[in-house]
Chain A
Amino acid sequence: MIRYTIARFFSLIISLIVASLVIFLVIEVIPGDPASFMLGINAREDTLAALRSEMGLDQPLTLRYFDWVIGMFQGDFGNSWTYKTPVSELIADRIWVSLPLAIYALILSTLIAFPAGIVAASRRGGASDVTIMGATQMGVAIPNFWFAMIMVLIFAINLRWFSAGGFPGWSNPLQGLKSLTLPAISLALPQAAILARIMRSSLLDMLLEDFIRTARAKGLTRSQALWRHAVRNALIPVLTIIGLQFSFLLAGGIIIEQIFFLPGLGRLIFQAISARDLIVVESVVMLLVFTVIMVNFAVDITYAIVDPRLRRKS
């Protein structure tokens, strides 16, 4: 177990290094002179010089890269050119919308998908299976931003149960949660559909395994065999998908935030793109990628808990 964790940890570090290099190259090297790129052709020479020194463009590339990385370790992401404030503050404000939204959606998606997948697998070919599979087939095909628009139309505009957008902050947690509910549902449902389908097919694969027959020969009923033996084994492939989904939820959140006017990382990054504020884009992208890599690391470690074959072998 320790050996496995350490091996995973090493690959985590390498992934982070390579990812940061890729982002650094795309943002700071490919445009040539990022400062003149950011300011456009009509920029005044003194503003340009100010931005260059702000970004440290007078220094060699390697030094800039290390400054950037070390800065991030200390919580210093540089200063936003358009907002004139530290990027870390901008991120700190908005991450409290984006992260809860992604987690909220992940919880919803799992809560919907697990029971749906298990019921469908255990009643394979039955009416509930056909209904659930039909629903997931639709769920997989619905673009989440369109689904969000329809939900706004129904629940915000017509029924007036929720507000159509905006975020009141966390001073009243219930209000905050309520305003994230429609966004979270529209993010979660398509992912839940995918997860339910994978849960079902993974379970059906497990039900064909010999050890299920052994369990039945012991006297377990069909559903006992499913719950006691198939579910835990079926979780192994499902976990991978949950890990991948978190990155989709985080990225998908960027779009959903646009629809619901949520002041999250998505809004920040779009404003930064249109203002050509590369410093913000670079930091937010790095943060997103960092989160995804960390989640995948966590999934890998969870594997070892679920599957004893990955633990230390004697």
Chain B
Amino acid sequence: MSEAPAVGETPRYYVPHTSVWPIVGSVALFIMAYGLVTMIHQTTDKVAAEGTHGVWIFYIGLGIVAFMLFGWFGTVIRESVTGMNSGLMDRSYRMGMQWFIVSEVMFFAAFFGALFYARVISVPWLAGAGSNLETHTFLWPDFADVWPLFMTPGGTETEAMEAWGLPFINTVILVTSSVTVTFAHWALKKSQRIALGVWLAITVLLGAFFLLLQVVEYAEAYEELGLTLGSGIYGSTFFMLTGFHGAHVTMGTVMLAVMLFRVFSGHFTPENHFAFEATSWYWHFVDVVWLFLFTFVYWF
């Protein structure tokens, strides 16, 4: 922080107008949360709630969130384009995005923690490891400690997802997309607008292709392998980790598509393109998470 400017040349720190978007977002999140719970209650057997309006409430909330993001980011873009942002503010945005990614890392850490706990502790213990022989003998004497868990203590069976099929192809796709988004960034910094558009478009397509293959993989898991959310801790961790990762890829692809649209609209200069950079950070983060996923969920 030693680069803080001297007094005379203090930059303006733009403190925005009152803004309507945060409260719109808060209300939308509330509607989404209420709709989601209502939808879950109406569609799962545990709570027999009447009706089907939950899903519509959820979509309304989601729609308002999208509207809010559109409006909020639109405002920020206008401020940026009209030069209201100082270098100091640019750094605030950068740091904000970096800490947001840190928080996302910790969100995934919770699910990876569950995976490692199951593999290293709960499954061996249920099979009698350590001082747990009695649990094994009296509760589930037939249960064996293997991973992937082909049969749960309760007797639910499943097959494992093979790492070197679709998942490996997806790994190649995602790593390639991290490279192409970097090429796009280099092109942007050299003002090569056509190369920028091409590389970015390729990145978006790779993201979408990854998602498509993920859907194919899920269909295969459910229909051919019998691997479902309900097939024990292997299925639970598999779908929780890949599902949340997939949700992040979806978000990332949408963000990249928005960047592509902004490139077509002539936004971004070699010096000022924070939104593009933030998106590419996010994309690299999603990529790195996938490498961990591929290693610990599919491979070993």
Q: Say whether A and B bind each other.
A: no
